[in-house]
Homo-oligomer: A and B are copies of this chain.
Amino acid sequence: MEIEQIEETTKKQGKELFGICPYVTTQTVLQGKWAILILYQLENGPVRFNELLRRIDIAQGTLSNQLKYLEKEGMIRRNVYTEGVLRVEYELTPIGEKFRTVLQSIEKWGNEYITYLKAKHL
């Protein structure tokens, strides 16, 4: 029983295709409810913890978890500054920055979809 025959025809997607199939992999990284929104907030440079908290309506613990997850996945970097008051900034890593193209297509499509929704309810 060679279970290792994963590459059949891209069958068995989802089981262990993380790191193999680009779609499964991306969905895994984006699984958190806030991932897309957080990455969007960091699109234009570093943002502090409480600033994120203010911009997004999210529980503190949840934000902390999502940030840790995104950091673990290599999408964002956490920088601590201790001069004066404690300051922690989050920013995109190089691979995280490359995600901007996805964010842009999401923004474009999202707006088209919103237009579609409005037309639908008339």
Residues on A lying within 8 angstroms of B by beta carbon are 9-15, 19-27, 29-31, 33-37, 40, 54-58, 74, 95, 98-99, 101-114, 116-118, 120
Contact = CB atoms under 8 A, between A and B. Distances in A.
Contacts of A15: 57
Contacts of A13: 37, 55-57
Contact of A14 (B21, B37, B74, B98): B37
Contacts of A24: 37
B11 A117 contact: no
Contacts of A74: 116-117, 120
A12 B14 CA distance: 33
B95 A26 contact: no
